Structure 1
């Protein structure tokens, strides 16, 4: 199975700086998207640190491990890379007053034959587009999502709430953070959309699906159309979008590999 990748970020129509970051390594099948938060430039620093650190470390590990690594091994490597990035951002935030309070949301994908491992922290999202249907495959770590789950708010009420940006999990805010990771099966033609809340706050799932349906066979055209639609709806935040299309026959995952010991271990 082959994969085609695209990414784009946009400042939006209200903000003057861009705190969204993206890193893609096509050879390693790794896509990282982060939406930073914090004081002057601090959110931008946090999101860039997360994307660059996680992408570099994870791609290095995958190159050493080869395609024979099991999904369990890859998940452990994802956890370790995110934990190391979290500690680095947390340390920077506490050692430099300029960066005090900075953090970032995160959504991370590792593409493998016939499936994708998706991990996330906060309210940056991943969706799967398959045969004209859009499915959200992450669940926000946010106050609104907790209120929806508890029956306090309906999804319609949450859509107009003033508490949209209150996340319950973020990278770099505490000395430990949990990456929620799931494996999703892929079919040829599937597209995985990852985005910051600058897209999902401006467009609901129906509107995102409409753009993907009516737009464009090429990923760059589809990505540009999504960003244009978010800006047309107000563009109140930075917008980050990645699109990854699976192509070719589905393969079965390997059944076994050496026991995971430490990141980068060849033993």
Structure 2
């Protein structure tokens, strides 16, 4: 399976600074996105630390271990890198009063041929576009989601509820973090969309699906998603990372194909 990455981040129309951070490593099929929180510039420090550390350490491990590494080993590598990033952010927040209380959400994905190992903390999301259907494949770690799960709110009521952005998990707020990590099967033609809540709060799923449905290539889709989120209010920083899967070209020679090798 081949993977193509495309990303864009924007401060939005209300905030002066951008506390989102995004990175990918095409050589190891790694993507990571974070949405920071905290006073002063602490939010952007936390998110930047998370993406820089995880990209550097996890991409290095993947490049050294691949292609022999199995899914279990990659899962463990993701967990270790996220744990180390969490401890680094927490230590920085404890040692510098300007960074006190800082934290960040996280989405991190590693594509292994036809599988995706996807981890997340907080309310930054990952969606999958397949067969003209958009599916959210992460579940927000938020107070709002807990209220939905408890039957206190419907998804429709939640869309306009106050305190939408109160997360129940984040990197850097404690010396231990609980990463939710799942495995998903990938099919050729899939598009995976990682985003901060600056996109998902400004655009309903149906509007996101419409962009993906009519898009021709990743860059115009990324640009349109950010533009529409700004047109709908742009009340937060907006970050989008799109990853498209395509079947690897058949590199076997004619005789090998005829002989079924």
How does the TM-score come out when normalised to structure 1?
A: 0.92
- 1:207-256 residue CA offsets vs partner (Å, 9 max, x unmatched): 11112123x21100000010011111100000000000001159xxxxxx
Q: Deviations for 1:131-184, whole angstroms, at most 9, x for unmatched residues?
A: 211000000000000000000111111111111010000000011001101111
Match of 1:225 in 2: 224
Where do 4+ consecutive residues of structure 1 move more than 3 Å? none
Ranges in structure 1 where 5+ consecutive residues have no aligned partner: 251-267
**Deviations, residues 90-109 of structure 1 (Å, cap 9, x unaligned):** 00001001111100000000
1:126 match: 126
Give the Cα–Cα distance (whole angstroms) in 2 for the partners of residues 231 and 30 of structure 1: 27
Secondary structure of the 1:82 match is helix
Distance 1:96 1:156 in 2: 41
Shift of 1:200: 0.4
**Residue aligned with 1:116, SS:** strand
The unaligned stretches of length 5 or more in structure 2 are: 250-261
More divergent stretch after superposition (198-207 vs 59-68): 59-68
Q: What is the rounded CA distance, in whole Å, between the counterparts of 1:44 and 1:237 in structure 2?
A: 13
Partner Cα distance (1:211, 1:12) in 2: 19
The 5-angstrom pairing of residues 75-94 of structure 1 reads 75-94=75-94
Distance in structure 2 (CA, Å) of the matches to 1:133 and 1:37: 32
CA distance in 2, matches of 1:219, 1:104: 26
What's the secondary structure of 1:164's corresponding residue? coil
Larger radius of gyration: 2
Q: In the aligned structure 2, how far is the partner of 1:108 from the partner of 1:121?
A: 9
Alignment of 1:144-183 (within 5 A): 144-183=144-183
Cα distance in 2 for partners of 1:190, 1:63 equals 24
Q: Does 1:189 align with 2:177?
A: no
Q: Corresponding residue for 2:42?
A: 42
| Partner SS for 2:33 | strand
Distance 1:126 1:218 in 2: 19
3-state SS, counterpart of residue 105 of structure 2 = strand
Aligned residues: 249
Following the alignment from structure 2 to structure 1, what is the Cα–Cα distance between the partners of residues 212 and 55? 27
CA distance in 2, matches of 1:2, 1:66: 15
- For normalisation by structure 2, the TM-score amounts to 0.94
1:247 match? 246
